[in-house]
Amino acid sequence: MTVSADLDGLVAVVTGASSGIGRHFCSVLSSNGAQVVAAARRKDRLDELVADGSAAVAQECDVTDSDDVVALIGAAKRLGGPHIVVNAAGWADDKPALETSVEHFRKTLDVDLTAIFQVSVEAAKAMPDGGSIINIASILGLVGSWPVAQAAYCAAKGGVINLTRQLGAEWASKGIRVNAIAPGWFPSELTDEMFENEKSAAWIKRNTPMGRPGRLSELDGPLLMMASPSSTFLTGQILAVDGGWTAR
């Protein structure tokens, strides 16, 4: 299935672009006409995106570093943007709550929540004519992850969801739309262990009403809807793309 939108002339920033959903989204946005600024810590992987035409600019960026975030938005401004920002950078480490240190909890919130706030704020300052900010949340911000134990990740993604609502309302009058996609179980570096483990993979299939995990291409439609002018009256919304997981 091919989904398309006209993003010609628009500049998109994608964090977490070196792998998984972020990398896939660079390709989708670029193939629909956007100039993509691909951001992540692993510069060699970003250079691959530029080489294959999935990105216009490779911007090495640690989203927890304030100076890097300012430089990232500066790179988009030099291209005439940003018009679209996709906050796809993320980190997770499965740990039961009783084994999670405060330092570990803070690190997870720093990467998965605080960084989204700063990238969004810096981008909003550079969007005088409005734009679209798309946060990659998770179904684990909507429901608990048990028996997978990751309290820090669930807390961070829950924060992303309500931050999306707040910024969507706060910036609506400026023409800046803020929405979130909450994916279910999709292949990525964060989920590799789950998919490689036979019992875990069976658990995902058993508990997903559609009976399978998602395919990255099944996120293309929600991304392009939120990124394009076709959603100019949509803001502060969370779209769970989860095969029915949260409908159970």
Q: How far is CA 20 from the centre of its chain?
A: 10
Q: Tokens at residue 111, please?
A: 């990467």
In the prediction, which pLDDT does 117 show? 98
Q: How confident is the model at residue 187 (pLDDT cuts 50, 70, 90)?
A: confident
Q: How confident is the model at residue 141 (pLDDT cuts 50, 70, 90)?
A: very high
Euclidean distance between the first and the last CA atom of the chain, given in angstroms as a whole number: 26
In the prediction, which pLDDT does 224 show? 98
- The owner of tokens 């959903």 is 21
Model confidence, pTM: 0.96
Three-state DSSP state, 31: helix
DSSP conformation letters of 175-236: TEEEEEEEE-S--STTTHHHHHSHHHHHHHHHHSTTSS---GGGGHHHHHHHHSGGGTT--S
Instruction: For residues 40-68, give the mean pLDDT.
Output: 97
CATH class of 11-242: alpha beta
User: Any idea which of 20-34, 109-123, 125-139, 144-158 has the lowest mean pLDDT?
Assistant: 144-158
Average pLDDT, the chain: 95
pLDDT over 90 at 38, yes or no:
yes
Q: Which tops the pLDDT comparison, 146 or 2?
A: 146
In the prediction, which pLDDT does 168 show? 98
Instruction: For residues 139-158, give the mean pLDDT.
Output: 94
CA dihedral over 44, 7, 24, 88, signed as positive or negative: positive
Q: How confident is the model at residue 146 (pLDDT cuts 50, 70, 90)?
A: confident
Q: How confident is the model at residue 191 (pLDDT cuts 50, 70, 90)?
A: confident
What is the phi/psi pair of residue 113, to 5°? Answer: -130, -60
Express each pLDDT in 62-82 by its tens digit: 999 999 999 999 999 999 999
Which residues participate in catalysis according to the annotation? Answer: 153
Express each pLDDT in 208-233 by its tens digit: 999 999 999 999 999 999 999 999 99
Q: Give the C-alpha separation, 33 to 125, whole Å.
A: 24
Instruction: For residues 239-245, give the mean pLDDT.
Output: 98
- The CA distances from residue 141 to 101, 216, 238, in Å, are 20, 19, 10
pLDDT over 80 at 56, yes or no:
yes
In the prediction, which pLDDT does 192 show? 76
Q: Which tops the pLDDT comparison, 93 or 59?
A: 59
In the prediction, which pLDDT does 26 show? 98
pLDDT over 70 at 98, yes or no:
yes
User: Any idea which of 3-17, 30-44, 104-118, 166-180 has the lowest mean pLDDT?
Assistant: 3-17
Long-range Cβ contact pairs of 207-213 (< 8 A, separation 24 or more):
207/245, 207/248, 208/184, 208/242, 208/243, 208/244, 208/245, 209/243, 209/244, 209/245, 209/247, 209/248, 210/243, 210/244, 211/243, 212/243, 213/184, 213/185, 213/186, 213/187, 213/243
In the prediction, which pLDDT does 109 show? 97
In the prediction, which pLDDT does 1 show? 58
Q: Tokens at residue 7, please?
A: 């993003």
Q: Give the C-alpha separation, 159 to 157, whole Å.
A: 5
